[in-house]
Amino acid sequence: MRIVITGASGQLGSELRDLLQDNTEKECYFLDRKQLPLDQIQIIQEILAMYQPDLIIHAGAYTAVDKAEEDQVTANLVNHLACEEIAQYCRLHETKLIAISTDYVFDGTSAVALTEKAATSPINVYGQTKLAGEQAIQKWCPEAIIIRTSWVYSSYGKNFVKTMCRLMTERDEVNVINDQIGSPTYAHDLAVALLKIIDSSEWDAGIYHYSNEGEISWYDFAVAIRDFRSFNCQVKPIPTSAYPTPARRPKYSLLDKSKIKSVFGTEVPDWKISLGNMLAEEFKDN
C-alpha cells in the first residue's frame, strides 16, 4: 500500500513516521509544507499525482487558532480549499482518504459528550475553516473517513504539555483556565488508532471522534503535569474571562468515542495513562 501523509512535521505526522518507519508492507511518503504547500491549492493535485497514493492521511492544517482570526485567507486556503483539492483528487483516482478535523467545529454549549451527529456551530475562524474542509471532503469524497480530535499533544512540536513543563521550571506559579472542559489527545494514541483503521478489513466512511478517555479542564491537565514531573510550582485556576484571546474557545468540547470503538474496535486509553507515557519520552523539538 502506498500512503501519503500530509503535515509530516506536525505532531501527528511525526508520530506516524515513528510507527511506520520500519513497516515494509507500506510505502509511505511524508510531505511537509515545503513538499506540499497547502496554501498553493492550484498545484496540490499535481503533486499528489506524482506519488499515486492508494491512501492519503491528511493531517496537515493551519492550527494557529488565534492567528487565524487575522489571517483568514490563509486559514481558509489550508483548512478548507486544500481539503477540497485533496478530496477531488481522491474521487478522481479512487484513492482512500482519512482526514483529521477538530472539536472546534462545536460551539461549546453542550453539557454532554458530543457525538458525531451533534450540531456544529464553530465560534472562531479556525473552527469555521475546518468545518468547511469537512463539508468539502464529504461533498467530493463521500467515502472518506474524517476524525475529529481535541487538545492534541506529543513529545514533538509545540503543545500545552511541553509549554507547562517549561513554565513550571521557570516560575513559582502559573495560571491555567479551569472552565474549558474536554479531553486531551496523545498524538501517538491517535496514530495507533489510524493504523488500526488502515489495517481493518472494513472501510466504514463517515465522521468519527477520537480523544483520550476522561473529562477534565485545562487546569486539571496542568495539575497532573506538575504532579507527574514533581514540579515545585503552584497552579492557580482562572476563568476564561481572565485570559482573553483573539479567538474564542468552546467551553465544553468533550468528544464521545463510542462510534470509533464500536466500528473499528479502537482502544482509547485514559488521559492520565497517556500523559504518563508521553512524559516518560524525551521531548523532541520538531
Residue 118 is given by DSSP the state S
What's the average model confidence in pLDDT over 221-225?
A: 98
**285 domain residue, yes or no:** no
In a domain, 223, yes or no: no
Determine, yes or no, domain membership for 234: no
Residue 286 has pLDDT above 60, yes or no: no
- Does the annotation mark 126 as catalytic? yes
Q: pLDDT category, 201, cuts 50, 70, 90?
A: confident
Domain annotation covers residue 222: no
Of residues 208 and 282, more confidence is placed in 208
pLDDT on residue 281 = 85
**Residue 44 within a domain:** yes
- In this prediction, residues 29-40 reach a mean pLDDT of 97
User: Pick the catalytic residue: 126, 153, 186, 252?
Assistant: 126
Within a domain: residue 230?
no
The distance of Cα 258 from the centroid of its chain, to the nearest Å, equals: 18
Q: 41: domain CATH number?
A: 3.40.50.720
Other Cβ atoms closer than 10 A to 138: 18
Look at the chain and report how many structural domains it folds into.
1
How far apart are alpha carbons 265 and 147 in whole angstroms? 15
Please, what sign has the CA dihedral across residues 4, 198, 100, 239?
A: negative
C-alpha cell at 139: 461533498
> Domain limits at 52?
2-157+185-213+250-269
Does some domain include residue 224? Answer: no
Task: State pLDDT tens for residues 94-115.
Answer: 999 999 999 999 999 999 999 9
Question: 33, 74 in Cβ contact below 8 A?
Answer: no
Distance (Å, rounded) from C-alpha 69 to C-alpha 50?
34
In a domain, 80, yes or no: yes
